[in-house]
Structure 1
């Protein structure tokens, strides 16, 4: 009997323990065809989850405002029942959205086919008013409210809902045609299994999957260069570079579950990417409980990894960054001004030091710091780690590095979007430990870049800041960074942010 457990076996620990080498050596060179395809998908897309969320908020606001306008027209704003009317209108608008959700009116298929969903929406809107009437009857307050007002709200609200859904259906279909709203997928593994999978996905009505190509390590004899009309763009190692150029949402591994060793070897390479990773279960004989699967239409998938901090989580985190970055800039502006003056008086050269570091998805970003070293001795590539009593550091530099004041300009990085306030600290692109790049020391190091790097992070809160002079230190920092990524929440960010000033009092490793 086969005891395969998809939820237990494919964890980061299991993947990292598999045979094979996940350390990217030299950057894989893509073929001209792969480069051309990747260039077509550089632009971000609108997520269906984000779209349906925005539509919920829009319809709630539309119904609520419509009710208030009719109330002001029929009764007079702040007139009879000045707080009861707005409260009832608010509750009814919220109840209608809940009923729409229960009846699947925000599913992509419903949004693209308004003719199917409008009947359900009318029923939900009518149910909302029936619920209000029943509630008012049992509370013996029905005579106090205007039937004409609520009758008019029912008609006007329904008309607005119908018009909005018809308009949105046309917009969504246009976005689907021009690639503005889609989930981009890459198939990992070719041959007959990939062909069956692709045909099945293409047969699903109103699915939002756009297949960008196929990657397979096998040669053309075992894996044809064209499968179901899609080209084989390269090997799995080349896929890592492809996914850092193109905005890919999902990797679908089309290998049988029986090829467990091969699947784990692939996942060992791919798990560092900030994408959803799914294992096709379409042609597998093993059957799991329905809860084990996610679906593309009716095509079953086993969820291996999910992209961290996605959709509305990313919106919340970005809002958090903007608000607290602005607050930080305002609060610390006197300190930053005094620091800039001190740097200018202490040594020649610019006030700010710009350094290229690894950012989200291994992209190269430019990070701002106050200059703490003599200009002629600066090390933009960070090949040589700053050590205790380093002669390259200025007098002012020793103070601002010890207190982390040199990092304050990164509030502007966070405000402009290249950094987040909280996340794995970005390392210089040539940072080394004992003449080895960090990714050569730590297996899975680039998984730190599945989220945007931060001004402060969980590793720094736990004492792993400052000089990384041993392999063990960079391993521990990476371990804490990965823990943060896998356990992220907005409350976790708030905890880290407010613990940072306390932890900065420990300056033992800050030189």
Structure 2
């Protein structure tokens, strides 16, 4: 029952977001065109609900010669590929704004496990252990407010599984406001690296608390 309500909420909030944030979209598009060569939007194949594939949308934050389909943390000296505008967008998570369209058309939800790259087979396999691939991927989620880029794959998958198991309106609200706090504080962003938090779940793994 909640999943139907969740979808309605996604449609209403994503449509509202596209209207309200349209001036910011225009400013960012102009900034991106001035800062570097290449398209404004970046499309990338990601894993959706039940391991189906879809193209996620982001504002482009890296140079057009960046190796394709390679996670940032797997690039050697990844900062050399990130544009000046891209660095700002990543730190503030504004590069994720175009995913409002993915949410509106039903490929994603506002809250859910972050969609993995199609070739991140280790993360996909770990999420299978916890049924985390069986819920819609999200713009942000439980793992994001508990570590984001700092989480090793096994911890991230476990947190995604906890969300899938206890998905509810209360959980979504907690993730939503937790994300706002993290963005303001700039927590959990690690360019060119991952897995620096190994004990994240120890104090927060019980969602109902």
Instruction: Provide the TM-score with structure 2 as the length reference.
Output: 0.82
Q: Which residue of 2 aligns with 1:340?
A: 29
In the alignment, is residue 481 of structure 1 matched against residue 190 of structure 2?
no
Aligned residues: 190
Residue matched to 1:501: 180
Task: Flag structure 2 segments of 5+ consecutive residues without an equivalent.
Answer: 192-209
Q: Structure 1: how far apart are the matches of 2:71 and 2:154?
A: 18
In 2 relative to 1, CA 394–467 (structure 1 residues): closer, same or farther, beyond 3 Å? farther
**Partner SS for 1:504:** helix
Offset from partner CA, 1:450-495 (integer Å, 9 cap, x none): 10100010111112x1266xxxx11111111111111111222122
Q: CA offsets, 1:405-447, max 9 Å, x none? A: 1001011100010001100110111237xxxx3246x373572
Show the counterpart of 2:123. 438
Q: What are the ranges of 5 or more consecutive residues in structure 1 without an aligned counterpart?
A: 1-311
Which structure has more RCO (C-alpha within 8 Å, separation ≥ 6)? 2
CA 1:420–1:388 in structure 2 vs 1: closer, same or farther (change >3 Å)?
farther
The reply to whether residue 448 of structure 1 matches residue 138 of structure 2 is no
Q: What is the distance in 2 between the residues matched to 1:506 and 1:445? A: 32
Contact 2:127 2:133 in 1 (8 A): no
Displacement of 1:355 after TM fit? 0.5
The two structures, once aligned, show a CA RMSD in angstroms of 2.2
Which of 138, 144, 158 is the aligned partner of 1:460?
Answer: 144
Pairwise CA distance, 1:508? 4.7
Report what 2:82 is aligned to.
393
Alpha-carbon shift at residue 367 of structure 1 (Å): 0.4
Aligned counterpart, 1:423: 112
CA distance in 1, matches of 2:54, 2:70: 13
**Structure ID, larger Rg:** 1
Contact 2:130 2:157 in 1 (8 A): no
Q: In the alignment, which residue of structure 2 is the partner of 1:380?
A: 69
Partner SS for 1:349: coil
Q: Give 1:356 shift.
A: 0.4
The verdict on how the C-alpha distance between 1:329 and 1:389 changes in structure 2, with shifts beyond 3 A counting, is same
| TM-score normalised to structure 1 length | 0.35
Offset at 1:378? 4.6
Residue in 1 that maps onto 2:38: 349
